[in-house]
């Protein structure tokens, strides 16, 4: 089996890291809970335009409106606070020990995404890392998944044995469906709403992997006839 795993909010707590940094920045600036809520909302789970987030931060905290500098400040803050979710390295090691191949497939800049991987020491636990900025394509574009499969020599793999797992329906699940692979959604307890339907849903990446394993497990022996 081949696992194409999203990074942010799937393997590592990117939103948790942003919220921790923002809380510290607000406190240092003498801001309020409303300021913190506005900054976190503006971030949009990492999918908002970075300069738009920076503008809200600068306005709320009274910083100079040098938006590229503000972007660099909050990116550095995320790197300082980001952590892998509990048990993730062991999960990845377990998949590879069973002969599976594991690729991190992430949208973002090379410096930021590889910085998170280095900070969380994940590189030794996966077979490859594919970053959108380096490849000129970003999820939901299925080309990024094709690059990932090629990176581990699996271009011709049976797509039923390939799983794209991530927390973003509009990016991860949509990319997996466009690439013709199976999909798992890390829901964090959210409702899918009108997003593309994944094959498997779990609150955490551990739950998704367990659900996939359950699907792949051979059926037990038929009960004895009386």
- pLDDT tens by residue, 72-105: 999 999 999 999 999 999 999 999 999 999 999 9
pLDDT value of residue 192: 85
User: With bands split at pLDDT 50, 70 and 90, how would you rate the model's confidence at 225?
Assistant: very low
- 207 and 132: one domain? yes
Residue 22 inside a domain? The answer is yes
Residue 226 inside a domain? The answer is no
- 203 and 119: one domain? yes
pTM for the structure as a whole? 0.93
CATH number assigned to the domain comprising residue 139: 3.40.50.1000
pLDDT value of residue 222: 44
Residue 224 inside a domain? The answer is no
pLDDT value of residue 193: 83
pLDDT value of residue 41: 98
Q: 223 pLDDT exceeds 50?
A: no
Number of domains in the chain: 2
Task: Print the domain residue range for 160.
Answer: 2-12+85-216
**Domain boundary, last residue among 61, 81, 101:** 81
pLDDT value of residue 221: 52
- 95 and 183: one domain? yes
pLDDT value of residue 218: 65
- What is the pLDDT averaged over residues 37-61? 97
**Domain boundary, last residue among 81, 97, 126:** 81
User: With bands split at pLDDT 50, 70 and 90, how would you rate the model's confidence at 112?
Assistant: very high
- 46 and 126: one domain? no
d(CA 128, CA 130): 7
pLDDT value of residue 201: 97
- pLDDT tens by residue, 171-211: 999 999 999 999 999 999 999 888 789 999 999 999 999 99
- 167 and 116: one domain? yes
- 114 and 159: one domain? yes
pLDDT value of residue 219: 54
């Amino acid at each position: 089996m081949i696992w194409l795993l999203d990074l942010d909010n799937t393997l590592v707590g990117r939103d948790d890291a942003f919220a921790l940094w923002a809380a510290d920045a607000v406190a240092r600036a003498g801001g309020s809970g409303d300021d913190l809520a506005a900054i976190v909302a503006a971030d949009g789970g990492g999918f908002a335009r970075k300069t738009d987030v920076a503008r809200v931060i600068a306005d709320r905290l009274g910083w100079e409106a040098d938006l590229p500098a503000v972007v660099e400040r909050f990116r550095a803050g995320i790197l300082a606070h980001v952590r892998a979710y509990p048990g993730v390295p062991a999960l990845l090691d377990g998949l590879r020990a069973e002969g599976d191949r594991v690729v991190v497939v992430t949208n973002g800049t090379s410096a930021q995404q590889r910085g998170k991987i280095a900070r969380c020491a994940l590189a030794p636990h996966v077979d490859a890392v594919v970053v959108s900025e380096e490849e000129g394509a970003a999820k939901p574009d299925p080309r990024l998944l094709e690059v990932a499969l090629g990176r581990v020599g699996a271009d011709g793999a049976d797509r039923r044995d390939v799983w794209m797992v991530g927390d973003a329906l509009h990016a991860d699940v949509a990319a997996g469906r466009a690439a013709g692979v199976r999909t798992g959604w890390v829901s964090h307890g959210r409702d899918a709403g009108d997003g593309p339907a994944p094959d498997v849903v779990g609150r955490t990446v551990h739950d998704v992997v367990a659900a996939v394993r359950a699907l792949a497990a051979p059926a037990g022996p038929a009960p004895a006839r009386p």
